[in-house]
């Protein structure tokens, strides 16, 4: 009887040790899955954000529209979801053959150096400009815009350098070689949010495309 009792105790001990070892492994495996899955979920959620610009949304903003009123340009502001909703401003001086889209291209702070996110966004823009839907574009002007913080002269120079960075990046894309690109630095002259000059929505690159007469102004 005593031997049976010891055998039962020994068996329970062995089971407990095995369970402890396996349970630890299972917990470690579960923790690893959570650790590696979390960033992937975050990336998926970021990609799924409805306000993030996509190649197709850029194409839709820039493609020809026969119903656009004469003397006006159709445009679209593609802003990050966190930014305030701002309607695109219509500029009557642009011809009917022009379309534009505002893109918040990320740069390094107070610099014309593109960030990784900025290059990713320009890759989407390059795919849009090389698409069949936009094959009728005659020329493209990149307008640099800054917020209202700092002097007008400094911001105008910074906006021009940033527009030039966008131009250089896209000129290196094989599918876009031969395209006519121009740049202009607008600085603080056309704030999207005049009530909040420091707002991030003011820092952007406006892409203006022309389909018919080449009336774009700027530096080549």
pLDDT at 197: 95
Q: Give residue 12's pLDDT.
A: 42
What's residue 52's pLDDT? 79
CA distance 172 to 163: 15
Taking the whole predicted model, whether its pTM rises above 0.85 is answered as no
pLDDT at 64: 87
Residue 70: the pLDDT is: 38
Give percent of the chain with pLDDT exceeding 70: 59
Q: In 10 A of CB 43, how many CB atoms?
A: 10
Do the bridges between strand 204-210 and strand 98-103 make them parallel or antiparallel, or are there none, so unpaired? Answer: antiparallel
The domains of the chain are located at 1-48, 55-210
The whole-number pLDDT of residue 97 equals: 79
Q: Which CATH number fits domain 55-210: 3.30.1330.60, 3.30.360.10, 3.30.56.10, 3.60.15.10?
A: 3.30.1330.60
Q: Residue ranges of the alpha helices (H) in the chain?
A: 2-47, 55-62, 116-129, 152-171
SS (H, E, C) 73-120: CEEEEECCCCCCCCCCCCCCCCCCCEEEEEECCCECCCCCCECHHHHH
Q: Provide the pLDDT for residue 165.
A: 98
Q: What is the pLDDT along the chain (220 residues), one digit of tens a residue?
A: 444 444 444 454 544 454 444 544 444 444 444 344 444 333 333 333 446 799 999 999 999 873 443 333 344 445 444 444 334 444 444 555 799 999 999 999 999 999 999 999 999 999 999 999 999 999 999 999 999 999 999 999 999 999 999 999 999 999 999 899 999 999 999 999 999 999 999 999 999 999 975 454 555 5
């Amino acid at each position: 009887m005593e031997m049976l009792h010891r055998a039962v105790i020994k068996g329970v001990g062995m089971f407990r040790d095995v369970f402890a070892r396996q349970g630890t492994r299972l917990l470690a495996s579960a923790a690893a899955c959570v650790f590696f899955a979390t960033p992937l979920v975050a990336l998926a959620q970021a990609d799924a954000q409805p306000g993030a610009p996509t190649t197709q949304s850029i194409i839709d903003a820039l493609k020809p529209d026969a119903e656009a009123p004469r003397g006006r340009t159709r445009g679209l502001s593609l802003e990050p979801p966190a930014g305030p909703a701002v309607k695109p401003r219509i500029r009557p001086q642009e011809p009917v053959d022009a379309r534009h889209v505002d893109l918040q291209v990320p740069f390094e702070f107070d610099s014309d150096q593109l960030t990784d996110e900025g290059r990713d966004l320009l890759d989407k823009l390059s795919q849009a400009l090389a698409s069949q839907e936009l094959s009728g574009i005659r020329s493209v002007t990149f307008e640099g815009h800054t917020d209202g913080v700092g002097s007008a002269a400094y911001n105008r120079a910074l906006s021009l350098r940033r527009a030039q960075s966008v131009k250089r990046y896209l000129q290196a894309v094989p599918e876009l070689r031969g395209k006519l690109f121009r740049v202009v630095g607008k600085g603080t002259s056309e704030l999207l949010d005049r009530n909040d000059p420091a707002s991030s929505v003011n820092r952007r690159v406006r892409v203006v495309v022309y389909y018919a007469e080449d009336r774009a102004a700027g530096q080549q």
